[in-house]
Structure 1
Amino acid sequence: MIRTKHLLNLLMVFLVSQSLIFAQKGKPVYTNPLGIQAYTFRGSWPRGIEATLDTIQKLGITEMEGGPIPGMSTEELRKQLDKRNIKMPSIGADYTALAKSTDETIKNAKILGASYVMVASIPHDRSGFTLENAKKAVEDFNRSGKILKENGITLTYHNHGFEFVPYEDGTLFDYLVQNTNPEYVSFEMDILWTAFPGQDPVKLLNKYGSRWKLMHLKDLKKGVKGDLSGGTPKTNDVALGKGSIDIEGVLKAAKKAGVKHYFIEDESPSYLKQIPETIAYIKSLKY
């Protein structure tokens, strides 16, 4: 009798554990709000800002990374975003303009409600990105980042592929991360521009953890040979899940690293067709 009770208890423990495991199956990998990079709709904005915002809203997107849009005042843009319940947590800023003055960027960020400012590239000549370029960027980022932080804004640098030039036991991207002040400078990973030059987005997310605050979600066409140019034909930008990047692995590593906001960026001419495919793929990923 005692043995039977013992076996029943073990069976109950087993059944409970199995039910918990089963209950966890089907949990979504991606749980953040859907975000979009405004550049994705570069062909749509000139044809109508409000109509484009309506399209974004209908896609179920509730966050956008962007900034002022030509043809509409920044104040009016904020009203139109609010009307559609779309937040703009991050805006872009030109490297050279930001290095000269942070005033305009801070003004726009506050109007639009952004808490992050993203710089998408570092000036360099066609011969390639150099240590001198990296040193200058570190100086500029630390200075601008300090001012932005004093205004409640976090500066992030968006990698563009050319920064992965070998340097010492790593790359010049490692130099940027290791020499910028974590209090003032964070990073946004563009996963295509991480994979294209031959880097592993998952390993880089794991390596620098909380330094990553934002992410551009995009996929690279299978079979494309990358390099350090920071450029590839826009047709190599494919819907998530159809390319060569381990999107599921990236999303899991990004969640572990604590990435705050994710923005779909599709540079393909077929962006209107590919965005719904990308969204469907993201939602299909389950643990």
Structure 2
Amino acid sequence: MKKILFYSLLSLIFIQEVNAQKKKPLYTFPFGVQAYTYRNSFPKDVAGTLDIIKSLGITELEGGGAKGVTLEEFKKMCDDRGISIPATGAGYEELRKPEEIVRKAKILGAKYVMCAWIPHKGDNFTIEDAKKAVEDFNYAGKVLKENGITFCYHDHGYEFRPYEDGTLMDYIIKNTNPEYVSFEMDVLWTIHGGGDPVALLKKYGSRWKLMHVKDLKKGVKGDFSGHTPSENDVVLGTGQADFPNIFKAAKKAGIKHYFIEDESNNEMVNVPKSIEYLKSLKE
């Protein structure tokens, strides 16, 4: 009887190992990173910072150059390391002159341009602010599309204030022209503002084109400020984000590019750990 139990246990272990090996990696997208992650390093050593990024196996960068080098020089430095720049950023004030945004994006080879902040007074983001943003996003997005570039607005948490039967984020998405305006989900800020990443990905599907992959520290209660201490940005998989289900929903929505972003001041330790977590995810 003992021998039967022993061999039965061995068989069970063997079957479990075989099944585990059959599971496919959940995160199969190219590793990308938001340049802001290395904001403390780029000003000191652009080439050295890009070398660090390359050493981590990262092949995509969301950014717009670096201090001390031209856009052309930055692009070449990235090319030399096998790093592409599919997306870059633009300040809200630049949206009224989108031709300049187009010029910069084309130098970098970026097909997406994201804006990450809508100006508003203090922490009080209002429907008037949202309506103004809709107008400016539609205007700039049209010019960008005519030049082969997709405009994306990056949510920052304050847009999840309740409005009518939804939120101000719902208002912005529903009132912008899908032909001209898409969106980049920042997982941390979505959660911080009270949004549900999975539900939003399912609800608006292909309106989402890009994603900032970042995690909010457990126990942190968010608000509508769009601000949180840097130490609340933690290694992926250790915070509040349900990444297995987020990635499944993101795949169905058709997200095009994923950028790891770490706003802590411990990025040299955090990013490698986050990449190991992403590699460990299985379907």
Shorter-chain TM-score tier = over 0.9
Q: Deviations over 1:111-132 (max 9, x none)?
A: 1110000000100001511000
User: Shift of the alpha carbon at 1:25?
Assistant: 3.3
1:130 aligns with 2:149: no
* Letter in structure 2 aligned against 1:260: K
Query: Would you say 1:280 and 2:279 are equivalent positions?
Result: no
| Mapped contact 2:59–2:83 kept (Cα < 8 A) | yes
Question: Which residue of 152, 161, 175 maps to 1:165?
Answer: 161
State the one-letter code of the partner of 2:90. A
Alpha-carbon deviation of 1:103? 2.0
Identity of aligned residues (%): 62
Match of 1:93 in 2: 90
* C-alpha displacement of 1:102: 1.0
Aligned equivalents of 2:280, 2:123: Cα separation in 1: 42
For residues 127 and 98 of structure 1, the distance between their equivalents in structure 2, rounded to whole angstroms, comes to: 22
Give the CA deviation at 1:23. 9.0
SS in 2 for 1:129: coil
Contiguous gaps of at least 5 residues in structure 1: 1-17
Identify the residue that residue 43 of structure 1 maps to in structure 2: 40
Paired residue secondary structure (1:163) = helix
**1:218 match:** 214
The alignment status of 1:193 with 2:189, answered yes or no, reads yes
Partner residue, 2:25: 28
String of CA shifts for 1:222-265, please: whole Å, max 9, x gaps.
00011111000000000100111101111111111100000000
Structure 2, gaps ≥5 residues long: 1-14
**Matching residue's letter, 1:267:** E
The within-5 A match list for 1:1-287 is: 22=19, 25-99=22-96, 101-287=97-283
The 1:141–1:66 alpha-carbon spacing in structure 2 relative to 1, beyond 3 Å, is same
TM-score, length-scaled by structure 2: 0.92
Cα distance in 1 for partners of 2:195, 2:142 equals 29
Aligned-residue RMSD, C-alpha? 1.4
TM-score when scaled to structure 1?
0.91
1:24 Cα offset (Å): 8.3
Q: Distance in 2 between matches of 1:145 and 1:224?
A: 35
Equivalent position amino acid for 2:75 in 1 = R
Contact kept in structure 2, 1:217 and 1:263, CA below 8 Å: yes
